[in-house]
Amino acid sequence: MSATGILIVIILALSAYLVLGGADFGGGIWDLLAYGRTADDQRTLISRSIGPVWEANHVWLILALVATFSGFPQVYEEIGRGLAVPVAFALIGIVLRGAAYVYKSYGDGAAGPDHLWGRVFAVASAVTPYMLGVAAAGLATGRLDKGAGLLADPFAALTGGLALASTAFLAAVYLCHDAAKSAPGLVPIFRRRALGGAIVAGALALALLPSLPSGLDNHLGRAAPFIGISAAAGVATLILLWRREFRAARATAALAVATILWGWAAAQYPAIIIGHLTVDSASATPATLRATFAVLVAGLVLLAPGILYLFRVFSRTEP
Amino acid sequence: MLPEARAETAVSLAFHICFAVFGVGLPWLMLYVEDRAIRTGDPVWMGLARKWARAFAVLFAVGAVSGTVLSFEFGLLWPAFLGTYGGVLSLPFTLEAFAFLAEAVFLGLYLYGWKRLRPRTHWWTGVPVAIAGTFSALFIVTANAWMNVPTGIKERNGKVVSAEPLAPLTGPNAAPESLHMLIAALMCTGGVVASIYAIGMLRGRRDSYHRRGFAVGLVAVLVCAPLQLVIGDWSARVVEAKQPAKFAALEGLGHSQTHAPVTIGGYYDAKSGKLVDGLRIPDGLSILGHFNPSAKIRGLNVAAPQNRTPFITQVHLSFDLMVGVGTALIGLSALVALVAIRDRRRLGVWRLRHGKWWLRAAALTGPGAMAAMLAGWMVTELGRQPWIVYGRMRVSQAVTSSTDVGWWLGGTILLYCALAVALILILRRMATGGPVTTQPQPELVKVS
Ligand code: HDD
Ligand code: HEM
Ligand code: HEM
C-alpha cells in the first residue's frame, strides 16, 4: 500500500520535473538552435522565462531520487551499478547547465564572455534530457549490464530522442505564451517550432510502440488509456497552437508529455526495473515505507500553497 | 577502486559544502540587512541586501547542482551502502528534500520578487529560505551522524529487517553533530563576509557600505565562536562514549590510559602507540572526555587492528587545526568585545575598531572558519574508517565494482576547478563593484 503510494509520488515528482524542469532544458535546446536576425532576442526571452523558477523546477528531480532510495533502496543500488554511464553524462549536463546559466545571468562577463557560457548552457541543456531518456530505457528493458553499451542501443536512442523532442516541444509552447505577453514579434517563430516539435515528438512516440521490449508489451492494455489521452492532448495542442490559444496549449502540451510517462509506468507496474526488481521485492521495511509515505504526503500538502504562490506571482506581468 | 571512490566522495562533498554553508548562513544575514533597510529606508542597507542576494543566487545554484551530483553519486560509488541502508536514512533525506523544495520555491520569490512584491512581503519570502536552509543542514548531518553511530535497526543475512524511522534523528550524536555543523556554517558565512569587506577597507574603501557589511559579518562569526566551543566539547564527549577508537585517534592514543594528554602537532608513531614531536598538555584528553584529569581514556587498542583508522596522523592534525582556529576566534571574540565595551563607555555608542591590524585579523576569520569546517569533516570521516557505517559495513564492502571511477574522478576535478575559478572571478567582480543602487532588479540578461 505505502510502497505503491510512494511509487505514485515518485511518478508525480518525475512528471513535475518533466513538464517544468524539462521545459527549462527545452529552452536551452532552442537557445542552441536560435538563428536569424532575432536570435539574440530569442535567447533573451528564453533566459527570462527560465529565471525565477528553475531552482524550484529542479528540486522535483531531487524529490524523486530521495523517494526512490527511501522507498526502494535496491532500485537505487541497481541504477548505481547498471546505469552509471548515462547517469554520469546527465549529471555533467545538470552541473554545466545550472552553473552556466547563473554565470551568464550574473557574471557580467567577469568569468569569460556571456555568450560562451550561453553556449555551454545550451549544449548541456540538450545532453541532459537525452541521457535521462537513455537511462529510462535501461529501466524499461532491464538491460543494465550493458554500461556504455546502452548509449549505442537503438531503443535507448529512440527514448532519448523522445525525451529531447518532448522537452523542446514543451519549451516552445510555453515560450509562445511568454512571447505573446512580452515580445509579440517572436510568436510566429516559436509557434512554428512548437508545431514542428509536436510532430517530431509524436512521430518518435509512434516509432517506439512497435519496438517495445518484451515485458512492456504484455501490459500494453493498461497503458492504452494513457496513450490515448496523450495522442488526444497532442492533437488538441496542435489545434490550439494553430488558433493561437497559447494559455490552453500549455496545459494540453504538458498533459500530452506527462501521460507518456504515466503510460510507461502503468505498462511496467509492478516491475520497477523490468526483469530485476518489482515494487514488492525492492521495497524497504514496512515501518520505513509508512514513515516515508506520510512525510511525502504531508510535505507536498504543506508546500503546495508556496508553489502555487510562486507561479501566481510570476505569471503576472512585471509592474 | 576504493582509493578513487574515496577521493571522489571527498572532492565532491568538500566542493558542495563550501557552497552549502552560504546556503545556510547567508539568508539570515540578508534578512537582517533587509530588515534594517526597510526600517530605516537607508539605501546603504538596501544596497547590501541587493548585493548579497545576487551573490547568493550564484552560490545557491552551484550548491544545488553539486548537491544533485552528490545524491546520484552515493548510489554510483557506494551502491551496497544505499541498497542496504538507504531505507534507514529515509526520514532525514526525505525531510531534506522538502527543505530544498521550500528553499528553492521561496528563493525564486525572493530573488526575482524585488519589484513584484511589497517590501515587507518580500522580506517575509526570505524567512522560509533561511529556515529551510538551516533545517537542510540539520537533516543531512543527522544522516552522517547515523553512519557514525548506527542505532535502531535489526539485520538478518545482510538485509535490514526492521528499522526505526526516527533513529537517525534521535541518535545520541545527532544533536551535537548537526548543531556543530549549523554553527560552523554561520561562522563560515560571517567570516567570509567580514573578510571580503575587511579587505575592501584595507584597500581604502572605507565608506559606510563597507563598514556595515564588515560589522554584520564580523559580529556573526565572533558571537558564534564561543558557542561552537561548547557544542564541540559536547560532540567530543559523545564521540568518547560512542566511538572510542575515533576519540583515541584524535590524540593518537595507542593504549588505554589514565591522565591522557592532549598533544599539539606531532605525528603518530605506530611502534610506541604515541604521538611524537608535538607539544604535550598533560591530562588534556582526560579533561576533554570526562572533565576529570585522572579519567581513563580508551586507546586505539579497544578496536581490533583491522578496525582502526589508518589515518591517525591526519585525523589528529585536522583536529588540531579545527580546535586551533576555534580557540583563536574565541580569543579575537574576547578582544573585540572588551575593546568595544570600553569604547562604548567612552563614546556612548557601539563601534568596531577599523585599524589596520583589526582589519587584518578580521580578514583571516573567513579562510580560518572554512579551513576549520573542512578539517572537522576530515576528523569525522577519516576517523570513522574503515567503516562506512560504523561497526556494520566496511567501505570495502560498499564500494562499486566499476573500473571507471578514475576517469570520473579526473573529470570531476577538472570540471569543479573550472567552475570554482569562474565563480571566484564573478564574486570578485561583485565584491569590488560597490553597492547595487542603480540596478533595480537582478537582471537576467541585457534585455534588448
Ligand atoms: C567553523 C568551524 C569549526 C570550529 C571553529 C570547530 N569545529 Fe568541530 N567540527 C566542525 C567545524 C568546526 C564541523 C565541520 O562542523 C564538524 C565536522 C562534522 C560535524 O558534525 O562537525 C566538526 C566535527 C567535530 C568533532 C567530531 C564529531 C564526530 O566525529 O562526530 C569534534 C570532536 C569537534 N568538532 C570538536 C570541536 C572542538 C572541541 C572545537 C573547539 C573550538 C571545535 N570543534 C571547533
Ligand atoms: C561536507 C564535508 C565533508 C567532507 C569534507 C568529507 C570528507 C570526506 C573524506 C575525506 C572522505 C574519505 C575518507 C577516506 O579517505 O576513506 C569521505 C568519505 C565519505 N563521506 Fe564524508 N565528508 C563530508 C561530509 C559527509 C556527509 C555529510 C556525509 C553523509 C551524509 C558523508 C558521507 C561520506 C561517505 C559515504 C564516504 C565514503 C565512505 C567513507 O569513506 O566513509 N560525508 N568524506
Ligand atoms: C554537511 C553537509 C551538507 C550540508 C550542510 C548541505 C546543505 C545544503 C544546502 C544548504 C543546500 C541548498 C543549496 C545551497 O544553498 O547551496 C544543499 C543543496 C543540496 N544538497 Fe547538500 N548539504 C550537505 C551535504 C549533502 C549531501 C551529503 C548530499 C547528498 C547525499 C547533499 C545533497 C544536496 C542536494 C541534492 C542539493 C540540491 C537541492 C536543490 O536543488 O536545491 N548535500 N545542501
Instruction: Count other C-beta atoms under 10 Å from residue B415's C-beta.
Output: 17
For residue B260, report the distance from its CA to the centre of ligand 3, in Å.
Answer: 38
The Cα–Cα gap between A104 and A212 comes to 41
- Residue B164: count other Cβ atoms within 10 Å of its Cβ: 18
Which range (A125-129, A184-188, B335-339) has the least confidence?
A184-188
pLDDT at B223: 92
User: Which residue, chain included where needed, has cell 529542479?
Assistant: A58
Residue A284 and residue B90: Cβ atoms within 8 Å? Answer: yes
Q: Residue written as cell 543542514? A: B137
Tens of pLDDT, residues B184-243: 999 999 999 999 999 988 887 888 888 888 999 999 999 999 999 999 989 888 888 888
Q: What is the pLDDT of residue B182?
A: 94
Amino acid (1-letter code) at residue B312: I
pLDDT at A1 over 80: no
More confident: B397 or B92: B92
Q: Tell me, what's the pLDDT at B448?
A: 33
Q: What is the pLDDT of residue A317?
A: 55
| Pairing status of strand B262-264 against strand B393-394 | unpaired
Instruction: Report CB contact under 8 Å: B54, A84.
Output: no
Nearest to A30 by CA among A133, A202, A165: A165
Counting every residue written for chain A, the total comes to 319
- Examine the pLDDT at A305 and tell me if it is beyond 80: yes
Closest ligand to the CA of B56 = 3
Higher-confidence residue: B65 or B378?
B378
Cα B391 from Cα B246, distance rounded (Å): 12
Asked if A48 contacts B445 with a C-beta cutoff of 8 angstroms, the reply is yes
pLDDT at residue B373, as a whole number: 95
- Mind listing the pLDDT tens digit for each residue in A83-93? 878 888 888 88
| Mean pLDDT computed over A285-290 | 77
Q: A249-278: string of b/e by CB count within 10 Å (b at 16+)? A: bbebbbbbbbbbbbbbbbbbbebbbbebbb
* Residue B181 pLDDT > 60: yes
Q: Whole-number mean pLDDT of chain B?
A: 84
In this complex, which of A70, A85, A97 lies closest to B87 when CB atoms are compared?
A70
Pairing of strands B387-389, B274-276: unpaired
pLDDT of residue A319: 43
Sequence-ordered list of residues with C-beta below 8 angstroms from that of A232, at least 6 positions apart, any chain: none
B336: left (phi over 0), alpha (psi -120 to 50) or beta: alpha
Residues from chain A that touch B60, judged by Cβ atoms under 8 A, are 55
pLDDT value of residue B367: 93
Judge: A102–B58 Cβ closer than 8 Å, yes or no. yes
- Asked if the model's pLDDT at residue B443 lies above 70, the reply is no
Question: Ligand 3 pocket test: which of B12, B16, B105 has the largest number of ligand atoms within 8 Å of its C-beta?
Answer: B16
Residues of chain B positioned with their CB less than 8 A from the CB of A98: 61-62, 64-65
Give every CB contact of residue A2 below 8 A, 6+ residues apart in sequence. Answer: A71, A286, A289, A290, A292, A293
Mean of pLDDT values over A99-115: 75
B94 closest CB neighbour out of A67, A107, A290: A67
Helix (H) or strand (E) holding B268: strand B267-269
User: What was the pLDDT predicted at B364?
Assistant: 92
Instruction: Report pLDDT digits (tens) over B397-434.
Output: 778 777 777 777 788 888 888 888 888 888 887 777 65
The residue with greater pLDDT, B72 or B175, is: B175
Please indicate whether residue B224 or residue B84 has the higher confidence score (pLDDT): B224
- Among the ranges given (A179-183, A233-237, B163-167), the one the predictor scored with the smallest mean pLDDT: B163-167
Cβ of B391: how many Cβ atoms within 10 Å?
Answer: 13
Q: Give the whole-angstrom CA distance, residue A84 versus residue B16.
A: 21
Q: Give the range with max mean pLDDT: A31-45, A211-225, B424-438.
A: A31-45
pLDDT exceeds 80 at position B100: yes
pLDDT > 90 fraction of chain B, expressed in percent and rounded:
25
* Average pLDDT, integer, range A1-9: 82
Q: Test B69 with A318 for CB contact under 8 angstroms.
A: no
Q: Is the pLDDT of residue B335 over 80?
A: yes
Least confident of B226-235, B280-289, B324-333: B280-289
Å from B206 to nearest chain A CA?
A: 24
Cα separation of B65 and A96, whole Å? 8
Does residue B442 carry a pLDDT above 60? no
Q: How far does A239 lie from chain B, in Å, by closest CA?
A: 32
In angstroms, the CA B22 to CA B196 distance is 14
- Residue-level pLDDT at A85: 82
Q: Is B433 helix (H, G, I), strand (E, B) or coil?
A: coil
Mapped onto helix, strand or coil, the DSSP state of residue B164 is coil
Do residue B105 and residue A48 have CB atoms under 8 angstroms apart? no
Q: Which residues contact A147 (CB under 8 A, 6 or more apart)?
A: A82, A84, A85
Q: In chain A, which residues have their Cβ closer than 8 Å to the Cβ of B400?
A: 80-81, 84
**A contacts of B19 (beta carbons < 8 Å):** none
B231 in ligand 1 pocket by Cβ < 6 Å? Answer: no
Amino acid type, B333:
S
pLDDT higher than 60, residue A21: yes
Q: What angle do CA A238, A239, A240 make, to 5 degrees?
A: 95
pLDDT of res. A249: 85
Of B65, B86, B109, the CB nearest to A70: B86
B142 CB-side CA count, 13 A = 25
- The region that residue B349 occupies, defined by phi over 0 for left and psi between -120 and 50 for alpha, beta otherwise, is beta
Q: Which residue of A has its CA nearest to B97?
A: A63
The per-residue pLDDT for B127 is 93
What is the residue-wise DSSP string for B229-255?
A: HHHHHHHHHHHHHH-HHHHHHHTT--S
Interface with A, mutate which of B4, B65, B77, B107 (most A CBs under 10 A): B65
Q: Which residues have CB under 6 Å of ligand 2?
A: B 6, 9-10, 13-14, 17, 78, 140-141, 143-144, 374, 377-378, 381-382, 384-385, 388, 395
Mark yes or no for CB contact A48/B161 under 8 Å: no
Phi, psi of A278 (to 5 degrees): -120, 175
Q: Which tens digits make up the pLDDT trace of A123-162?
A: 888 889 998 888 887 787 777 765 667 777 888 888 888 8
Nearest chain A Cα distance for residue B429, angstroms:
6
**What does the pLDDT read at residue A202?**
86
Q: What is the pLDDT of residue B441?
A: 40
Q: Give the model's pLDDT for residue B34.
A: 92
